Amino acid sequence: MSTGSLRVLHIIWWNQIGGIAFNLVDLIEHIDQERYKISLCILAKGELNLSGVLTRPVDITEFGFSSGADLVGLWRFLRYLRTQEFAIVHNHTRTFLVSAAIMLGRKRIGRIFQEHGALLQSMAGRMRTFYRCFGSVYDGFIAVAHSLVPQMTAAGLPEKKIAVIENPIDADKFNGESPRGEAKQRLALPVNSLAVGTACRLVQEKDIDLFLLVARHLHTARKDIHFIVAGTGPLEVPLQKAAHACGLDGAVHFIGARTDMPMIYRAIDIFLFTSLVESFGRTLLEAQACCTPVVAALPLSGGAIELIQCSPGVVSIPNRRPEDLARCILGLLKSKVERERIGTMGRDWVVARFDVRDWVKKVQCLYDDVVRLHKHE
């Protein structure tokens, strides 16, 4: 590592399976290590061991916060900030006391906040309050979708401080090279079976209840379809009980948190996206990059709406009715040629627009701008 490298601290609430954690993995894997040294601060305990999915070494510090009001954890975090010499602090959590600690930490340090979007509309008021309190604390803001910018400016944030940097995809890692039959075998599915799947954290806003309703319609029409749910979360057990109540025992497979998602996307023939609210929708990119066509219930809000409406690799059902989603999926399952056509178009679109190397360059440019800003102080 060059002695002239800049230390950048990324702060996340917990290391859960999801877009934030995997975006950080992409950044660590592709950033110019001669220029930047990434450290990671995890405030609360999560279920994902990030060090286990990284091929490059990175300093990871966990604080074990019990909540956003954990004063003992906050004091330890503040002491950490004051004893470490970082050029930039890049915060991914909209926790008020954490931003207060960042404000009280070392002076002459670059501060960036990344807005990943409120998970629920009920959090919009909290988001506005956060920006009014801390908008002047940060030198720059990243929005992962254009749709977030009006919400941020409505809270009083100057638009000139916001950089829209959409989340990336590593198209070398997520690709269509693995034969679907082999991928199905690795999931203990019949080689020639058909599979519909999804991947997300099992929480209310992902609306896996809708996924199960669609599965029930499909299972009634065809008993040879398997349903794959990848991910964990607080609703895992209730959803398993709901699958049983729908008569889907043996048809729905809850496979838990996975770090081999490229293989999972190849094992399924259609990716079914059901989120009610989605700020971006990284799984939409991952599935398409693996040449897997997507059928999506159009979310009620969030940046994923733009992805769904623009991509040729996604078939959108605006009304979110399970019978209409099932009808669309049944039509695609009858035609392997059509699935392959849509899958190929989806991958081409994702690779052209969301390449991870272009994304890293944009992040690095923002870092350089912030560092130059503080050099002139």
CA atoms of 277 and 300, how far apart (whole Å): 6
- Tell me if residue 129 falls in helix, strand or coil: helix
Could you tell me what percent of the chain has a pLDDT over 70? 94
**pLDDT, position 141:** 96
Give the type of residue at 1. Answer: M
Tokens standing for residue 296: 């999506």
304 and 278 in contact (C-beta within 8 Å)? yes
Q: Where are the alpha helices (DSSP H) in 290-355?
A: 304-310, 322-333, 336-353
pLDDT at position 353 over 50: yes
**pLDDT, position 376:** 61
CA atoms of 124 and 121, how far apart (whole Å): 5
**pLDDT, position 148:** 86
pLDDT at position 160 over 50: yes
- Within the chain, all domains assigned CATH 3.40.50.2000 are found at 6-168+355-375, 180-353
**pLDDT, position 5:** 86
Can you tell me the mean pLDDT for 67-89?
93
158 alpha-carbon distance from chain centroid: 26
| Digit-coded pLDDT (tens) for 172-231 | 999 999 999 999 999 999 999 999 999 999 999 999 999 999 999 999 999 999 999 999
Tokens standing for residue 8: 């950048």
- Tell me if residue 7 falls in helix, strand or coil: strand
CA distances from 74 to 59, 69, 71, 98, 364 (A): 19, 8, 5, 7, 29
Enter the pTM of the model. Answer: 0.89
296 and 283 in contact (C-beta within 8 Å)? no
Instruction: Name the helix (H) or strand (E) containing 90.
Output: strand 88-91
| Digit-coded pLDDT (tens) for 238-266 | 999 999 999 999 999 999 988 899 999 99
pLDDT at position 44 over 50: yes
Q: Looking at the structure, give the CATH architecture of the domain made up of residues 180-353.
A: 3-Layer(aba) Sandwich (3.40)
**pLDDT, position 119:** 46
pLDDT band at 3 (very low <50, low <70, confident <90, very high): low
**pLDDT, position 48:** 62
Give the type of residue at 50. Answer: L
Residue 56: DSSP 8-state: S
**Domain 6-168+355-375, CATH homologous superfamily name and number:** Glycogen Phosphorylase B; (3.40.50.2000)
| Digit-coded pLDDT (tens) for 274-320 | 999 998 899 999 999 999 999 999 999 888 999 999 999 999 999 99
**pLDDT, position 2:** 46
